[in-house]
């Protein structure tokens, strides 16, 4: 009886078992990389808005504090988007004729809200709370990046569960003194871990990793 398979199939089959394992691992790695990439998370993609509102101009050049516009960030779950009236505190006189601001003036005239496009959007099954973070020394820029350098807003971080947990497991890597929370130019000191541990103790921060913290 003649051989069905040639000799070379021996090596070939050994090789393909080995190769298959690599192929599977490689495929898995690729999938994980894709789920973490901006293609899926939208991180770093600037969003078009009905009015080209620039944080770079208002925060960095004019020096307006976040809380002037995001008034509820210290006391509630949401930071809040300013109503049209807040813009008109200044824009009754500044750039008052500019076509760029026509949607704002129209909104005031017609009492229709400006429809801002949501940039950071967690899935609805996740509970998030701004006040819980801001009042414990987690700064805006830790999660939102240097908004004072954004002509249009984009999402800075992946907002994935592993990102939240990275900090919840070891908050000392990121916490800063409460007075610096709104300071966009704050940079972590060289001995952040040491300083961070002190602050974690002082602010009585616990490591919150149980599922019901965020899924409730």
Residues that bind other proteins (CB under 8 A): 24, 62-65, 67-68, 71, 77-78, 80-81, 83, 85-86, 88-90, 92-94, 111-113, 115, 123-125, 178-179
CB of 67 to other proteins, least distance (A): 5
CB of 13 to ligand HEC, least distance (A): 37
Structure tokens at 47: 């969003």
The closest alpha carbon to 151, from 58, 29, 20, belongs to 58
Answer with the entry of other proteins, ligand HEC, none that 49 interacts with (C-beta below 5 to 8 A by kind): ligand HEC
CB of 39 to ligand HEC, least distance (A): 13
Structure tokens at 160: 């994935």
Structure tokens at 16: 């393909």
Binding region for ligand HEC (CB under 6 A) out of 3-11, 12-20, 22-30, 140-148 = 140-148
CA 172 → CA 85, 158, 210, distances in Å? 39, 20, 18
Answer with the entry of other proteins, ligand HEC, none that 178 interacts with (C-beta below 5 to 8 A by kind): other proteins
Rounded to whole angstroms, the Cα distance separating 152 from 131 reads 25
CB of 215 to other proteins, least distance (A): 11
Answer with the entry of ligand HEC, other proteins, none that 186 interacts with (C-beta below 5 to 8 A by kind): none
Q: Where are the alpha helices (DSSP H) in the chain?
A: 8-36, 38-41, 55, 66-69, 84-91, 102-110, 130-134, 140-144, 161-169, 192-202, 211-214
Indicate which single residue of 36, 42, 71, 90 sits in contact with ligand HEC (rule: CB under 6 A).
90
Indicate which single residue of 9, 44, 61, 75 sits in contact with ligand HEC (rule: CB under 6 A).
61
Rounded to whole angstroms, the Cα distance separating 131 from 165 reads 18
Sign of torsion over alpha carbons 102, 107, 110, 113: positive
For ligand HEC, give the closer residue by CB, 14 or 201: 201
Number of neighbours of residue 119 by Cβ within 10 angstroms: 17
Answer with the entry of ligand HEC, other proteins, none that 211 interacts with (C-beta below 5 to 8 A by kind): ligand HEC
The closest alpha carbon to 144, from 168, 162, 169, 163, belongs to 163
Indicate which single residue of 130, 172, 176, 196 sits in contact with ligand HEC (rule: CB under 6 A).
130
Binding mask 168-187 for ligand HEC (x = CB under 6 A): x--x--xx-----xx-x---
For ligand HEC, give the closer residue by CB, 30 or 132: 132
């Amino acid at each position: 009886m003649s051989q069905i398979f040639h000799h070379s199939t021996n090596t070939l089959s050994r090789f393909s078992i080995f190769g298959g394992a690599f192929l599977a691992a490689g495929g898995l790695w690729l999938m994980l990389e894709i789920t973490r990439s901006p293609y899926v998370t939208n991180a770093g993609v600037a969003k078009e808005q009905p009015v080209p509102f620039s944080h770079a101009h208002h925060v960095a050049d004019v020096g307006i504090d976040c809380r002037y516009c995001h008034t509820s960030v210290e006391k509630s779950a949401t930071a809040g988007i300013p109503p049209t009236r807040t813009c008109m505190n200044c824009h009754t006189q500044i750039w008052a004729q500019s076509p760029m601001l026509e949607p704002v003036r129209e909104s005031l005239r017609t009492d229709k809200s400006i429809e801002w496009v949501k940039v950071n959007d967690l899935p609805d099954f996740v509970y998030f709370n701004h006040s819980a973070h801001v009042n414990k020394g987690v700064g805006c820029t830790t999660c939102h990046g240097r908004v004072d350098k954004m002509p249009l807003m984009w999402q800075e971080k992946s907002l994935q569960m592993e990102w939240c947990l990275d900090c919840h497991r070891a908050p000392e890597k990121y916490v800063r003194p409460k007075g610096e929370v709104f300071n966009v130019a704050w940079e972590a000191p060289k001995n952040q871990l040491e300083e961070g541990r002190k602050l974690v103790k002082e602010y009585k921060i616990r490591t919150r990793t149980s599922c019901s913290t965020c899924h409730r």
